[in-house]
Structure 1
Amino acid sequence: MPLYEDIKINFLMGQETDFKGCAFSCLDTEKLDLKMMILELHDSSIDVPSVFICPISLEPMQQPVTLCTGQTYDKSNILKWLSLGHKTCPTTMQVLWDDSITPNNTLRHLIFTWFSNKYFAMKKKLEDVQGSVLEHLETLKKVKGQNRVKVLKDLRKLVAAHVCARTTMLENGGVGLVSSLLGPFTSHVVGCEAIGIIVNLDLSSELKRNLMHPGKVSLIVDIMNEGTIETKMNCAKLIEVLLMENNDTNKIEIVSSLSLLVGLLRLVRDKKNSNGILIGLKLVKLVLCCDEKVRISLISIGAIPQLIEVLPNLNNECLEIALYILEMLSTIEEGKLALKECPNIIPNVVKMLMRVSENCTQFALSILWAIYKLAPEECASKAVEAGLASKLLLVIQSGCNPVLKQMSSEFLKMCSVNYSTSILISNCMLTTTIQ
């Protein structure tokens, strides 16, 4: 236990410990509550010395006590252990010849001093962050050009890294100040940094309404189409937040923007960034539900073939959203025609049956059904060759919901109309027993 001994010797000699914190007198530290400090430091990712950790709870000890075996535990934990009738030491499993416990005051002072140092260091850091945010906000009111960009970049980093920075921004009018920089004449670089700040903040309804001004929304959409992948994601997330605000008039104006829809599809097609794909798909799903005209617009800019193309590379979460979007688009005539014209759509969609979830299976089956209604013979031929019948049998025999089973059963019957029993069995790789 060299670490413990070094701490103990330094403490008893009145020297500073090796924890980078300044020493505090007993008068200073005794005013603090150890439990409160432990709680406040719990989420700060500090490495607590192992000798301060109770072997039972694996949490820092507040009242360390020592057993006759020489092992130390937090008082509440060892008393609970003993109250359950245990007669052994939890760590060594030695039989206790004496069940008395002795307060380990030296260790408690070491723990108290260590947490005091960390606590004051954290408080000082928070004060520095808050002061830095306030200073940047004051500077932002005065500067322009590259100096404004630099201040915004610094603010964005502070807001992304510290909760207290976000709180300070909200409490001191920082959001209103930054959002006021967004407008028709805002430069691309200023807009990117401002949006990067705003998207990390908890916006009030008033601030959301302010940002939904057509000029500001237009700028956000333009930046999404031109920015880096990080900027595109920030813009998409901000637009999603704004669309959640109950303002139907502005919603329709936003979601009807072809520029927005094009930008979202670009985000979805970026195979290098799965987070960007997910954000893009979520926003496409949201705008799809806002107005029926959006579906026609999406189809007109080639959303269906683009989504079909990325299907094989999507993770399960993205796949379910993409199939939902395609299923929604298949409910209108333009969507059915676009689906039918997509190369390899039937084999690609058949693969989705019974692959991820019941929802995915239902969406995929609805898409195939829409194509089948337009071209029954062609669809049945390609679907059976792709293994549809065996997938449908799996659905029927599974624990899926009755509606999905019924749909699968009817689809199987329709496929069999275009095939002899022997050919259907051959394509399905079924046995005569199933026949």
Structure 2
Amino acid sequence: MVREELYITVPSLFRCPISLDVMKSPVSLCTGVTYDRSSIQHWLESGHDTCPATNQPLPSKDFVPNLTLHRLINLWIHSSASSSRAATGASSSPSPSSSGSTPLPLLPPVILTSEIRQLVSGIAREPHAAGLDGFEKVAEFASYSEENRRFLANLHDSVEAILRVLVREGERVEVLESALWILDLILLENGVRERILRLIFRTDYERCFDSILLVLRKGTLRSKIQSSRILEMIASNPDSRRTIGEKDAILSVLVHLLRTETDETLTETILSCLISFSVTRSIKVQLIQLGIVFVLSRILSDPKTTGPAAERALKMVHLVSALAEGREAISEDPRCALAVLDRLVKVRAAAKEEGLAVLWSMCCAYRDERVKEMIAKGNGVTKLLVVMQSEGDGVVVKKMCMELVKKLRRGVAMADPSSSSSSSRYGGLGSLETKTTHIRPY
């Protein structure tokens, strides 16, 4: 006799708002709404840029695993499965008569460490045989908890096995994305960074960069962010930085993403990556030639750019302004100096000092008349006075502001010494004492 299927009531919290099924891998958007990973990935990759449940525009399409809900669902599954086994052994079983009832979901159990050990061992032995399902299972395991990430990082040959997949020729983008996701998850675990750096520049592992480039070009938003974080880690090593600097395609793709993508998390991550690269003159020159100053001007001018992304953009402008080529690019872009000026009152002290150093070097040290004129026309003196009066700013910030005010007033006086409107145009500074010492902020 065939037993009837047991039906139970599913808590609404456990259902995906899109598929209405119990979530296998719950992830949360920036709106706070949680969906099943496969459902929301399909929604976002179909071109939507809103939260399906709230219809809010998404400033970021990134999502994070909802580990608490994942645990609750798994506890409920195992508890329900136990109840199911007990109930089906009885003489009668409940029927699916009430609304809101559903068959007991056939979800996979919690992934066991023994299964992960076997999967990693199989990837290490035969990387060509590793499939997408296996990689996604390892990634899901690592995303579940810090203990899981530590376990995976400590497995013998785990990092080596993942890197072997990245050097496979003709591998599917989805598999490469899963491999990079795993690396990104365990990147901060003890010893992982050193193992990656030790291996990635060996001749038999250098194709890793080709795989990272492919993901940056064709991957999802999340995988582009993860790839950028991995590149930033690699760039933290001086020898690695020089090698990457020789790979023009990497810098070109990163600048192209800054130019074409609007996601703020991706912008912030790529800028952090480029800052790590921009230690040598040769790399900064490459970035200037790729049009980084124009891109930074657009980012700083965009009112949607906030917080860390704006501060990293200011730091990047400061780095390229150390070169004559960078100062020329800043001078030729009418938006750049104005965008830097407008950001000064909206950022933290370190970024404020870097932004002021750019303006100071252009106007005071190198006496760029085009930049002085742009700042003057942008009500620069008034804005600099506001920065000077900000509480908590250091002595260097205030002195650079005063030097700039002095330089701008002098430029106006020389341009039109008889003008009676010059004081009113620049905030009524006719009687302001501007005696300062000469400042060199570098």
**What TM bracket, shorter-length normalisation?**
0.5 to 0.7
* Contact 1:270-1:276 at 8 Å conserved across structures: no
Query: What does 1:160-199 align with in structure 2 at a 5 Å threshold?
Result: 160-170=143-153, 171-183=155-167, 185-189=169-173, 190-199=175-184
1:347–1:191 Cα change, 3 Å: same
Other-structure match for 1:331: 322
Q: How far, CA to CA, are the matches of 2:425 and 2:197 in structure 1?
A: 56
* Contact 1:268-1:280 at 8 Å conserved across structures: yes
Q: How far is 1:382 from its partner?
A: 2.3
Q: Secondary structure at the match of 1:331?
A: coil
1:218–1:396 Cα change, 3 Å: same
Superposed CA deviations along residues 43-101 of structure 1, whole A, max 9, x for unmatched, are 95778xxxxxxxxxxxxxxxxxxxxxxxxxxxxxxxxxxxxxxxxxxxxxxxxxxxxxx
* Contact 2:331-2:368 at 8 Å conserved across structures: no
Q: How far is 1:309 from its partner?
A: 0.6
What amino acid does structure 2 have at the position aligned with 1:154?
Answer: K
* Contact 2:159-2:183 at 8 Å conserved across structures: yes
Taking structure 2 as the reference length, the TM-score comes to 0.63
Query: What does 1:78-89 align with in structure 2 at a 5 Å threshold?
Result: none
Other-structure match for 1:425: 423
Task: Indicate which of 340, 345, 355 corresponds to 2:346.
Answer: 355
Moved more, 252-261 or 222-231: 222-231
Q: Aligned-residue CA RMSD in angstroms? A: 3.2
Taking structure 1 as the reference length, the TM-score comes to 0.64
Q: How far is 1:428 from its partner?
A: 2.8
1:207–1:403 Cα change, 3 Å: closer
Q: How far is 1:380 from its partner?
A: 2.8
What amino acid does structure 2 have at the position aligned with 1:306?
Answer: V
1:157 corresponds to 2:140? yes
* Contact 2:353-2:396 at 8 Å conserved across structures: no
Q: How far, CA to CA, are the matches of 1:428 and 1:336 in structure 2?
A: 25
Q: How far is 1:375 from its partner?
A: 5.9
Moved more, 163-172 or 293-302: 163-172
* Contact 1:192-1:227 at 8 Å conserved across structures: yes
Superposed CA deviations along residues 5-61 of structure 1, whole A, max 9, x for unmatched, are xxxxxxxxxxxxx9x9xxxxxxxxxxxxxxxxxxxxxx95778xxxxxxxxxxxxxx
Q: How far is 1:434 from its partner?
A: 5.6
Q: Secondary structure at the match of 2:421?
A: helix
Q: Secondary structure at the match of 1:352?
A: helix
What amino acid does structure 1 have at the position aligned with 2:245?
Answer: V
* Contact 1:304-1:326 at 8 Å conserved across structures: yes
Q: How far is 1:125 from its partner?
A: 6.2
Task: Indicate which of 200, 205, 224 corresponds to 2:185.
Answer: 200
Q: How far, CA to CA, are the matches of 1:244 and 1:379 in structure 2?
A: 34
Q: Secondary structure at the match of 1:430?
A: coil
Which structure carries more relative contact order (alpha carbon 8 Å, separation 6+)? Answer: 2
1:253 corresponds to 2:237? no
Other-structure match for 1:12: none
Task: Indicate which of 188, 191, 198 corresponds to 1:209.
Answer: 198
Larger radius of gyration: 1
Other-structure match for 1:286: 276
* Contact 1:316-1:356 at 8 Å conserved across structures: yes
1:162–1:395 Cα change, 3 Å: closer
Query: What does 1:267-416 align with in structure 2 at a 5 Å threshold?
Result: 267-269=257-259, 271-289=261-279, 291-311=280-300, 312=302, 313-372=304-363, 376-399=368-391, 400-416=393-409
Unaligned 5+ runs, structure 1: 1-17, 21-42, 48-123
Unaligned 5+ runs, structure 2: 1-8, 12-66, 73-107, 414-418, 434-442
Query: What does 1:59-138 align with in structure 2 at a 5 Å threshold?
Result: 128-138=111-121
Other-structure match for 2:76: none
1:272–1:391 Cα change, 3 Å: closer
Aligned length in residues: 315
Q: How far, CA to CA, are the matches of 1:305 and 1:407 in structure 2?
A: 25
Q: How far, CA to CA, are the matches of 1:286 and 1:330 in structure 2?
A: 16
Q: How far, CA to CA, are the matches of 1:422 and 1:359 in structure 2?
A: 38
